[in-house]
Homo-oligomer: A and B are copies of this chain.
């Protein structure tokens, strides 16, 4: 039973394609903590926070899914195990929100905000670390382990 639900848990980690070292490290930790729980880590497949989260997950043997905006699989960062090539630009943000059971945003810019908004629209747990906006429904936390534990708690409460 446990293994089935673990198999089916997808965590989207969203954030900007550019990340400061600090933000990058945080996203690595989010990816690692998610993968240690057996969760599939879903990202937009590019650099920055997307790369960091996939790197963290891969380092502990996790499975990483990248949903790319462009038409070329080669855009995927090297930590993406499974790459989906949408060639749909920002419309792929909607696919990320639909595919995920929960979302953790790390820092982020406008693309990230659109994913947060769609996650909340779809009534999924959305947790932010260092997210620069105050959005009702977005649960803001301080650091990666707290983010993952908050997601876990919110999913159990569903």
The stretch that binds B, out of A20-28, A31-39, A86-94, A147-155, is A86-94
Cα–Cα distance between A83 and B84 once the two chains are bound (Å): 11
Cα–Cα distance between A40 and B122 once the two chains are bound (Å): 30
Q: Are A99 and B120 in contact (CB under 8 A)?
A: no
Known contacts A90-B121, A120-B110; A85 and B99 CB within 8 A of each other = yes
The residue on B at minimum CB distance from A137 is B110
Cα–Cα distance between A8 and B75 once the two chains are bound (Å): 13
Other-chain contact of A71, B89, B117, B134 (Cβ < 8 Å): B89
Q: How often does this chain occur in the complex, in copies?
A: 4
Other-chain contact of A84, B95, B117, B132, B136 (Cβ < 8 Å): B95
Q: Are A121 and B111 in contact (CB under 8 A)?
A: yes
- What's the least CB distance linking A91 to chain B, in Å? 4
**Number of chain A residues whose Cβ lies closer than 8 Å to a Cβ of chain B:** 40
Other-chain contact of A88, B40, B95, B116, B137 (Cβ < 8 Å): B95
Q: Does A6 contact B (CB under 8 A)?
A: no
B residues in contact with A8, CB < 8 Å: 73
Q: Are A94 and B94 in contact (CB under 8 A)?
A: yes
Q: Are A91 and B89 in contact (CB under 8 A)?
A: no
Other-chain contact of A110, B84, B91, B121 (Cβ < 8 Å): B121
- Chain A 66-104, CB-CB to B under 8 Å as 1, else 0, gives 010001010000000011111111110111011100000
Cα–Cα distance between A126 and B8 once the two chains are bound (Å): 31
- What's the least CB distance linking A141 to chain B, in Å? 19
Cα–Cα distance between A29 and B128 once the two chains are bound (Å): 36
